[in-house]
Structure 1
Amino acid sequence: MTHPDGEPLEAELDYRFTLANERTFLAWMRTSLGLLAGGVAVHTLVQPFRAAGFRRALALSCIVLAVIVAIGAYGHWRRVGVAMRQGKPLPNTIMVPILSAGIAVVSVLAAVAVLLR
């Protein structure tokens, strides 16, 4: 259905769908907070590695990934909510490949730093 001006009407959703979308958002936010805590912990608690800059690179990669995940989670939550209300298919997310690649980069940095220690 559409408004007279051609805009699609937004239907009222079953609360379970809204809550499921919110739970997914909160899971992304927990992941982001974990990455942020990991970055701060690496910067604060890990002694400097023999190779200069590895500790900072590892901490910053965790923190930057945390910011990307937090912003992406909000955008995805909004897009899913709009799609559900308009009766459209749910949008895909680029967050899964970004998070996978980011964690792979963090893991490689950590492995190299440990090997060079």
Structure 2
Amino acid sequence: MSEAPRRLPHRVYDDGVDPDVRFSLANERTYLAWVRTGMALIAGAVAVHSPVLELGRVTGTLLSLWLLVLAATCVAQGWWRWHRTERALRTTGHLPGFGGGLAFGIGVASLIVGVTVTVLLSL
């Protein structure tokens, strides 16, 4: 009987025992939702930087950069949360908190305020 191949990342899969498949798959779906949100933010950054919106060169660039920062934060948060949750499931430890989601929400709120101020100043 051959030994099962080691899965990556070793730091996650080498500890503990395999949890119920449903929990692992739910954790993966949550990670993919973070990635989808990051991709939507990247699409928004491209749209904001396009000349069709006529936001001005500096304003469009700043908003686009902020969206890209939020996208990177979103994907990093998804990976970090997947990693911590999977390890907790495997070792029957405590699940991670939701501080990253709160920080992401604050970033989106600041983006909304920035866009609102920009639109109001352009009137």
TM-score in terms of structure 1 length: 0.84
- Candidates 63, 66, 82, aligned match of 1:58: 63
Matches within 5 A, 1:64-75: 64-75=69-80
- State the shift of 1:108 in Å: 0.9
CA distance, structure 2, for counterparts of residue 21 and residue 112 of structure 1: 38
Partner of 1:16: 22
Moved over 6 A (4+): none
Partner of 2:117: 112
- State the shift of 1:91 in Å: 1.1
CA distance, structure 1, for counterparts of residue 101 and residue 80 of structure 2: 14
Partner of 2:91: 86
Matches within 5 A, 1:2-13: 10-13=16-19
Pairs aligned (count)? 108
Deviations 1:47-85 (A, max 9, x none): 134xx6222111111111000110111111011101110
Partners of 1:40 and 1:63 within 8 A in 2: no
SS in 2 for 1:100: helix
Q: How many percent identity over aligned positions?
A: 36
Partner of 1:26: 32
SS in 2 for 1:79: helix
CA distance, structure 2, for counterparts of residue 18 and residue 55 of structure 1: 40
SS in 2 for 1:53: helix
Deviations 1:4-51 (A, max 9, x none): xxxxx51121100001101111111111111111111100242134xx
Normalized per residue, the structure richer in helix is 2
CA distance, structure 2, for counterparts of residue 74 and residue 85 of structure 1: 16
- Candidates 41, 63, 66, aligned match of 1:35: 41
Structure 2 unpaired stretches of 5+: 1-14
Structure 1 unpaired stretches of 5+: 1-8
